[in-house]
Amino acid sequence: MAERRSPEFVQMSTAAAISLGISPARMHRCACTRCLNLLLTYPEGCRANCAYCGLARHRDAERRYADRNFIRVDWPTAPLADVIDRVEAMGEAGPFHRMCISMITHPRSDEDTKTVLAAWTARIPRGRIPVSILSNPTTMTRRDVQDLHDLGADIFTVALDAANPDVFAATRGKGVGSPHRWDGYWSVFEDARAIFGPGRIGMHLIVGLGESDRDILGLSADLTRMGGHSHLFCFFPEAGSLLDHRPAPPRERWRRVQLARYLIEYRAHPFEALGFDGDGALVDFGMDPEELAAVVATGVPFRTSGCPGKERDDVSACDRPYGDSPPGDIASYPFQPNGGDLRRIRRQLGPAGAHP
């Protein structure tokens, strides 16, 4: 069998494969996903070595690259042309509100992303399914960012993941023999800010890599001032990664960070109103308890955060079902939490989740 490599082939999340009809499985409590996540793929794999990632270079001798899990799920491989055929045949009634091309660290990644994007936009109207780029700043230039904008991408995101320079170096950079650099990520993000504009840039952040709440929420406030949004992930150890021994953050911490991040980015709540202890842990939301309880009751702060769909008031079309938790203890809800979910969320929040 010929090697399956991009741009002719792409991988996709399990949820996307279910939504496309490639996989016959079903997803617990949700209709799969509204975002078609496509991942570039090469037999020689990703050349980075991020400590928490299932695609990291250190796993080269462990298992075939295309068979590795990523964000805790399998990513089936399919011809790009077949994926586009299926989406085109679905028409306006299709489930997808967004498509996202995820890059990896590879010499071909920049040009192949443009090829995949051009093939997609040649057949799928931009107004029907908008496109995001989950970029690899390590290999990119400003010209690459401009090309992706000109080819039809409408949102550009950067997976910074680590919320301060020291944690970034330890988990994504020199500390693990990986090529990524904090300054390089921010440089490309600033290029995207200038090219894509306000409301069309985003940054992935992971809670639980060794940062403080102040680090995460300070970045959230910075992104808001820059015209962007954070896309928050709860660290959940990936089997076979260098950090597979690290536990997930306590649910109380995760829920409080989720809530504060939502207040900053969607309710114009000032970062300066938040209270932190000497270790940078969030201890006070700086908001009237009744008002805070009303926000909790909407359930929206606890939904998966990501790029919006076709409707600009959609808080996230990127559902990532169970990408950062097991279905039995959901961290990011890929659907609107129901009454039972909200009771559990309030318990997990502690005093901040109490009814007024």
Distance CA 115, CA 221 (A): 35
* Entry pTM: 0.93
pLDDT, tens digit (0-9, with 9 covering 90-100), for 135-192: 999 999 999 999 999 999 999 999 999 999 999 999 999 999 999 999 999 999 999 9
Determine, yes or no, domain membership for 3.
no
pLDDT, tens digit (0-9, with 9 covering 90-100), for 233-281: 999 998 889 999 999 999 999 999 999 999 999 999 999 999 999 999 9
Determine, yes or no, domain membership for 353.
no
Domain that holds residue 175: 9-248+318-336
71 Cβ contact list (under 8 Å, min separation 6): 13, 54, 238, 320, 323, 324
Q: Is the pLDDT of residue 65 over 70?
A: no
Residue with tokens 């299709």: 94
Determine, yes or no, domain membership for 266.
no
Determine, yes or no, domain membership for 130.
yes
β-bridge pairing 201-207 and 229-234: parallel
CA–centroid distance for 231 within its chain: 5
Asked whether the beta carbons of 138 and 127 are under 8 A apart, the reply is no
Determine, yes or no, domain membership for 269.
no
Distance CA 220, CA 231 (A): 9
Work out how many domains the chain is built from and give that number. Answer: 1
Determine, yes or no, domain membership for 189.
yes
CATH of the domain at 16: 3.20.20.70
Determine, yes or no, domain membership for 73.
yes
Determine, yes or no, domain membership for 260.
no
